[in-house]
Amino acid sequence: MSKISQESWGSMEWLVEDALQPGAALSLARMTVRSGCTSERHRHPNCDEAVHVLGGRVEQRIGDRLIILEPGDSAHIPANATHCSRALGQQDAVMVVAYSAGRRIYQPS
């Protein structure tokens, strides 16, 4: 069972989280960022996040730092760090995103 949330920049398909599996101590999602779009800048004060790129190219902002990620690359986002993802090029970016909490606190920045 999964839950898909559509956003203006793409989508999140939630595969594991407390809302789907009560008591889950982590969250896992498949994130798609449409070509040329950027996810909203935000932070999670209660958990770390890891992103792993499956397809496309991603400009990952973590605080003031920018990292370019290609398929097979991963990045760690510490708890409370402001971050966002932008799909570069003609192809949508597809990532696996993992969080160290089953219920994430989401705060737009």
Spell out the domain ranges in the chain.
3-108
Task: Give residue 1's pLDDT band: very low, low, confident or very high (50, 70, 90).
Answer: confident
* Residue 34 DSSP class: -
Homologous superfamily in CATH for domain 3-108: Jelly Rolls (2.60.120.10)
- Picking from 108, 92, 98, the residue whose alpha carbon sits closest to that of residue 9 is 92
- pTM as predicted: 0.95
Nearest to 97 by CA among 35, 42, 109: 42
pLDDT in tens, 18-56: 999 999 999 999 999 999 999 999 999 999 999 999 999
B/e letters for 48-62, b = 16+ CB within 10 Å, e = fewer, are: ebebebeebbbbbbb
The mean per-residue pLDDT over the stretch 64-72 comes to 98
Cβ neighbours of residue 107 under 8 Å, at least 6 residues apart? 42, 43, 44, 45
